[in-house]
């Protein structure tokens, strides 16, 4: 009788040390590199709230933080409501709640703005106006 575990050959992605999962590899509960794997927890009005930085938001959208800063400067996305305390504005970090991130990701998916879903045929830098309108409306309710 052959040992089934011995038959499973470890395979790796080309040029990488990262293993290719097989059918018998148990799924991870939470990936360490997921956008929400390391939230910043702060007290707001006596209640602990999870916050996420612009880098985490960018990861959730498949974008770069610089792109989101540009979108904020152009008014495509609203300014972050929360910022870390710092001695100067240059050192403050933008913070977003889980609800804000999840709404933005959902709307970006619906509008074809996710960096890894370019099937919508958007040209570089082209953002539908309805995305901004829908996002502003959704964030008002949060």
Return the CATH fold of 37-140. Multidrug-efflux Transporter Regulator; Chain: A; Domain 2 (1.10.1660)
More confident residue, 141 or 139: 139
pLDDT value at residue 21: 63
Whether the predicted pLDDT of 104 surpasses 90: yes
**What is the reported pLDDT for 22?**
61
Can you tell me whether residue 137 is helix, strand or coil? Answer: helix
Q: Do 141 and 87 form a contact (C-beta atoms < 8 A)? A: no
CA distances from 101 to 10, 23, 71, 110, 141 (A): 37, 32, 15, 14, 14
Which is nearest to 112 in space by CA: 128, 90, 91, 95? 128
Q: What is the mean pLDDT of residues 57-77?
A: 90
pLDDT band at 116 (very low <50, low <70, confident <90, very high): low
Q: Please tell me the predicted confidence (pLDDT) of residue 135.
A: 92
* Domain-wise residue ranges, the chain: 37-140
Q: Give the global pTM.
A: 0.69
Q: Report whether pLDDT(123) > 80.
A: no
- Nearest-angstrom CA–CA distance, 57 and 102: 9
Q: Which of 26-30, 42-46, 131-135, 138-142 has the lowest mean pLDDT?
A: 26-30
């Amino acid at each position: 009788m052959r040992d089934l575990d011995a038959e499973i050959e470890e395979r790796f992605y080309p040029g990488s040390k990262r293993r290719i999962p097989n059918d018998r590899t148990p799924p991870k509960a939470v990936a360490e590199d997921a956008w929400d794997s390391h939230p910043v927890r702060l007290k707001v009005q006596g209640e602990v709230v999870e916050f996420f930085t612009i880098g985490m938001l960018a990861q959730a959208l498949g974008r770069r933080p610089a792109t989101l800063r540009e979108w904020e400067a152009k008014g495509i996305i609203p300014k972050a409501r929360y910022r870390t305390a710092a001695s100067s504005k240059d050192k403050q970090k933008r913070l977003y709640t889980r609800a804000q991130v999840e709404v933005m990701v959902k709307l970006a998916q619906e509008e074809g703005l996710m960096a890894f879903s370019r099937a919508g045929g958007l040209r570089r830098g082209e953002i539908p106006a309805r995305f901004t309108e829908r996002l502003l409306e959704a964030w008002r309710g949060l």
